[in-house]
Homo-oligomer: A and B are copies of this chain.
């Protein structure tokens, strides 16, 4: 089947320069995909002219006259910009003109617009943001990453269901394991919400592993890690901050003097192989889960190569029927879920 993806070309720190370039590169290697480039026609066409070999038959431009700023308040993006590239891209999904959309814009605005335009799937109270992270044994999916700052136990249960559905669809795992992020493995640990969520998850029919701790994310203890958006966001951003610090320190040590520079030159292929393994670009593309449509959020500062990974994630979710998986799981009765 041909999959159509709507791309919000104006979102992200670099706008059309990155998004249009990434779309063209992606089309070249994925021949069953069509892309709708959404945004200011002039800006998009200027980028297209720079790249003569655009596969025109699988590409079209959809003009949208407004742009949501990276720091724009959610209310303003939602209410006063009816013709923003972000909103029009989401509306193309709603109308059935695209199977999914991808944006590197403001996360809060993207979630609010997606929720308003697409609505949530039956039974889902609150959509969540899920991302994939590298682990010692492969990778793991973590949700929520900031869509919901005050979650109750039922929300955490729904995150578990949505995360497991996502993993079973795109990773072809029948019963992915689900861990609940806590501050100790013992059942008595944690706050009341987490304790109640553990109970709900235990009776949910999911393959519930039990509590996991922060370090279990990178150990790869479970396929899915569930947490509230505040905790997930802090864990993700601290990790990003630590990784960046280590990268800078390592570079500084290799630049210290002539000897260390030489050592760096010799070790370069090894350092590059190491960098590739944990390259954040390969993990770009967070899923807004629980909506009646597939929406992928790219990192705002994503490079063209990183944005391609987000496009690939969108296509993957369409191809593997993530929405239907979540709907199916939500309709199977499980104790405790509303």
Contact = CB atoms under 8 A, between A and B. Distances in A.
A214 B238 contact: yes
Given A230-B183, A235-B214, A238-B215, A277 B249 contact: yes
A56 interface: no
A239 B229 CA distance: 18
Interface string A263-294: 11011011101100110000000000000000
Interface in A215-235: 215-219, 227, 229-231, 233-235
A255 to B, nearest CB: 10
Interface stretch (A57-65, A76-84, A156-164, A240-248): A240-248
Contacts of A214: 233-241
Contact of A274 (B227, B250, B259): B250
Contacts of A215: 237-238, 240-241, 244
A244 B233 CA distance: 20
A250 to B, nearest CB: 5
A146 B267 contact: no
A253 B234 contact: no
A210 interface: no
B267 A241 contact: no
B238 A238 contact: yes
26 contacts: A135-B245, A149-B189, A150-B192, A183-B234, A190-B230, A191-B230, A213-B233, A213-B234, A214-B234, A214-B235, A214-B241, A215-B241, A218-B242, A218-B244, A218-B245, A234-B234, A234-B235, A235-B235, A235-B238, A242-B242, A246-B278, A249-B277, A250-B274, A260-B269, A260-B270, A267-B270
Contact of A266 (B136, B183, B267): B267
**This chain: how many copies in the complex?**
2
Interface residues of A, number: 60
Nearest to A227: B234
A52 interface: no
Given A149-B191, A218-B238, A256-B273, 17 more contacts: A135-B245, A146-B183, A194-B230, A214-B239, A215-B241, A216-B241, A217-B241, A218-B242, A243-B246, A253-B277, A254-B267, A259-B269, A260-B270, A262-B266, A263-B266, A264-B270, A266-B266
Interface in A174-226: 181, 183, 188-192, 194, 213-219
